[in-house]
Amino acid sequence: MWRHVASNFLTVAVIGLMMLFGVIGWGRHQFEGPGPLTQAYCLKVRPGSGLSRVTNDLTAAGAIRNGYVFKVGADYAGKATALKAGSFLIEPGASMRSIVETITQGGQSTCGTEIVYRIGVTGNDVVVREMEPATNSFVEVVKFDPAKDTAPDAFVALKDDADLRRRVLVAEGVTSWQVVEGLKTVDVMAGEVATVPAEGSLAPDSYDVEKGADRAALLAKMEAAQVVRLATAWDGREEGLPYKSPEEALVMASIIEKETGVPAERGRVASIFVNRLEKGMKLQTDPAVIYGITKGQGMLGRGLRQSELRKATPYNTYVIDALPPTPIANPGLASIEAALHPEKTDYLYFVADGTGGHAFAATLEEHNRNVAAWRKIEAERGQAGQGGVQEGD
């Protein structure tokens, strides 16, 4: 009889184990398999939210089929208590595992409403944008110039929302003075800036900020980012470049940044200035002369005068035979890379071509033809000034 009882117990145990493994396999399939979401969904995880609340939100949105499996899976992965506050875009068909990863990895919010404080070369503005999950694109809700306009009611109503993502966006080619002045208009930030950072030392980029964030601390973060960018690019530079130090490469990058806004042209523009340095030619770049006049404190607002092009100053590249002593703006990573990886060309000249880009030339004769073509476009438009290397006008 005992043998029969033992046999029955063993059978029940085996069946129980099989059922257990079946449940585990089913749960794992539910957790890792494609989810039921048919349209992208913006999940808001509020500060202090627990896993149960998030699970309920996901269930109500139709993003997960089984809340119990979701919570067990998150707990098994060791992430049940690692939720990050923010707004997160959940893609159609996202698995429970991928959702857990999204809401626990931290970093920037990927959807919802955001306020972007943009610091630009010609001015600053504030933009409120709303992410449309279905199209994965932002829709502009409000835009205004904080220096000239009264904050719209729509902005005032939103700015204290705890769910908002706030970003400071620093454009490539702004000067350090412009960055400091721009940060003064960011109403959610605090603290004074004692001194303007060295020109070129700030990394243009998008920076997330919290209410009450310190302006000086953000500037320090920008400086640290630029140090890393420059050091990394310098370590991987082309051989034989005419720079004695990373700092000289940064000066060149700033000139490239100010000379062209066309990404595809950066390497060619770099090649011209490298070729000129190697041949002992003057760089003859207007942005450097302008910086010597304005010191980076705003726009010149007019064309350069002949007297200014003849005056000997450290930044007048029509007079000096080398690079200016400092950068003339804060260059982005692409311009730093262009300075340290210029294209291989025989170009020595370039001038605006009327399309937003430039015409390049290897000889003075060819350049003069390009200049004549640009002068004709200027005359038709009633404009003055040209940009680019002007020798041979």
Q: Average pLDDT of 361-366?
A: 92
At 160 the pLDDT is 78
pLDDT digits (tens, 9 = 90+) for 215-264: 999 999 999 999 999 999 999 999 999 999 999 999 999 999 999 989 99
Residue 325 near residue 196, CB atoms below 8 Å? no
Of 4-8, 98-102, 254-258, which gets the smallest average pLDDT? 4-8
Cα-to-chain-centroid distance, residue 295: 25
**Does the structure show a pLDDT above 80 at 24?**
no
DSSP 8-class letter at 365? H
At 23 the pLDDT is 56
Residue reference for tokens 């940009």: 387
Rounded-to-integer distance, Cα 365 and Cα 370, Å = 9
At 329 the pLDDT is 97
Pairing of β 358-361 and β 349-352: antiparallel
**Does the structure show a pLDDT above 80 at 390?**
no
Non-local (6+) Cβ contacts of 115 within 8 A are: 126, 127, 128, 129, 155, 158, 159, 164, 165, 166, 167, 188
Domain boundaries, the chain: 29-104, 113-231, 238-381
pLDDT digits (tens, 9 = 90+) for 288-303: 999 999 999 988 888 8
pLDDT digits (tens, 9 = 90+) for 163-191: 688 899 999 999 999 999 999 999 889 99
At 324 the pLDDT is 96
Cα-to-chain-centroid distance, residue 16: 56
**Does the structure show a pLDDT above 80 at 10?**
no
pLDDT digits (tens, 9 = 90+) for 36-60: 888 888 888 887 788 889 889 888 8
Of 17-26, 55-64, 73-82, 203-212, which gets the smallest average pLDDT? 17-26
Q: Which long-range contacts (CB under 8 A, 24 or more apart) does 226-234 make?
A: 226/200, 226/201, 226/202, 226/330, 227/201, 229/203, 229/333, 229/336, 230/336, 233/333, 233/336, 233/337, 233/340, 234/340
Query: Which of these, 126, 116, 119, 216, lies nearest to 165 by C-alpha position?
Result: 116
Rounded-to-integer distance, Cα 176 and Cα 135, Å = 36
Rounded-to-integer distance, Cα 63 and Cα 57, Å = 9
Residue reference for tokens 């080619």: 173
Q: Which fold has domain 29-104?
A: Dna Ligase; domain 1 (3.30.1490)
Q: Is 50 left (phi over 0), alpha (psi -120 to 50) or beta?
A: beta
| DSSP reduced 3-state for 208 | strand
User: Where residue 67 falls among pLDDT bands split at 50, 70, 90?
Assistant: confident
**Does the structure show a pLDDT above 70 at 139?**
yes
**Does the structure show a pLDDT above 60 at 366?**
yes
Query: Which of these, 124, 350, 327, lies nearest to 245 by C-alpha position?
Result: 327
Residue 218 near residue 209, CB atoms below 8 Å? yes
Secondary structure E strands in the chain: 41-45, 86-90, 113-119, 124-132, 137-144, 165-170, 206-208, 349-352, 358-361
**Does the structure show a pLDDT above 70 at 117?**
yes
Q: What is the dihedral of CA 130, 131, 135, 136, to 10 degrees?
A: 150
Query: Which of these, 157, 164, 192, 145, lies nearest to 44 by C-alpha position?
Result: 164
Residue reference for tokens 């067990």: 72
Residue 352 near residue 373, CB atoms below 8 Å? no
Top pLDDT among 84 and 270 is at 270
